[in-house]
Amino acid sequence: MLPWALLPSLETALANATGHTATISSSRSLPGGCINEAAKITYAGQDFFVKWNTKPAGSDAFAKEAAGLSLLRNRSPFRIPLVYGHHDDGPVSFLLLEYIEQASPDTDSWQQAGAHLALMHRQQAPVFGLEWSGYIGQLPQNNSFCPQWDIFFREQRILPLAMKALSLQRISKEMMHQIEHLLWKPGQLFPDESPALLHGDLWKGNILFSREKQAVLIDPAVCFGHREMDLAMARLFGGFPPVFFEAYLKSYPLQDGWQQRVDLCNLYPVLVHILLFGHDYAGMLADMLRRLNR
């Protein structure tokens, strides 16, 4: 059920989007993930998707998500939901989007998604980062510009989260030592590549398929980064079939040794999960560190 505090600002955004003054005629709760609540709503005969939160990650969380969706819409071949409005003030914050009816993907849909991701990663920038910093889940994500991915990865992704996890006693001092040893070992962590447009939070729940079998991306944590990050996270929790990766690699092959860097890339999302959801993911991190520090 939509909270009463949400209705005035939401119906104003709906009126602006449709050009009609009306009331919400129906709403149906939808899975909104672990952070937000969500619903399909009908207003003036048109369906919309809205998600809201009484305790957002930050005062500008939905504004940053809207900006990320707009960036992907302008620079990727995926279908990206239209942004109709957002509200980050008051007791309830929300993001109002196009509602896209979902369908089960077939093999061709997954192949198209892999090829689309390869095209998206060919959208590049001069340096790593982004004009704005945002969020991944409820955690701030620092996207300050940096010319080298190894430095960006170490200073703006892994170390801030690892230090916070250590301070909260979510990881041990030994695990912290292993992380530091890995990040400062001789040689490059990643091969040189141009900064690629990343979704940034590419697990199975953030890729949908429309009734027309179009691949749809939602809930981004965008930046220009190393493209192996998206591919590694797609492997972390499963759900992406082999044809997705095959289509990607056929269109845009990765550099040699990428398989050995999957765990390295996934230090970031696993640390995110440790901070958001607790100790349950510490065992996953310990296993990754053992493999990486062999």
Span(s) in the chain for CATH 3.30.200.20: 4-98
User: Given 3.40.50.300, 3.30.360.10, 3.90.1200.10, 3.40.1370.10, which CATH number is that of 107-292?
Assistant: 3.90.1200.10
What integer pLDDT is reported at residue 32 of this predicted model? 62
Q: 3-class SS at 71?
A: helix
Out of 106, 150, 201, 263, the active site residue is 201
Any bridge partners for residue 97, and if so which?
Answer: 49, 83
Q: How many CA atoms lie within 13 A of 133 on its CB side?
A: 14
56: pLDDT strictly greater than 60: no
Mean pLDDT to the nearest integer, 243-251: 98
Question: Which element (helix H / strand E) includes 64?
Answer: helix 61-75
User: Given 3.40.50.2000, 3.40.710.10, 3.30.200.20, 1.10.540.10, which CATH number is that of 4-98?
Assistant: 3.30.200.20
CA distance 43 to 31: 20
Span(s) in the chain for CATH 3.90.1200.10: 107-292
CA distance 228 to 192: 11
What integer pLDDT is reported at residue 4 of this predicted model? 87
- The amino acid at residue 45 is G
What integer pLDDT is reported at residue 240 of this predicted model? 98
More confident residue, 227 or 35: 227
**Long-range CB contacts (within 8 A, 24+) of 35-41:** 35/137, 35/138, 39/2, 40/99, 41/2
Q: Which two tokens stand for residue 91?
A: 């007791």
Helix ranges (H only) for 203-292 are 228-236, 242-251, 262-277, 282-292
What's the CA dihedral at 18, 44, 217, 284 to 10 degrees? 130
What integer pLDDT is reported at residue 245 of this predicted model? 98
Quote the pTM value: 0.95
What integer pLDDT is reported at residue 108 of this predicted model? 97
pLDDT more than 90, % of the chain: 87
201 has catalytic annotation: yes
pLDDT tens sequence across 96-153: 999 999 999 999 999 999 999 999 999 999 999 999 999 998 899 999 999 999 999 9
More confident residue, 280 or 217: 217
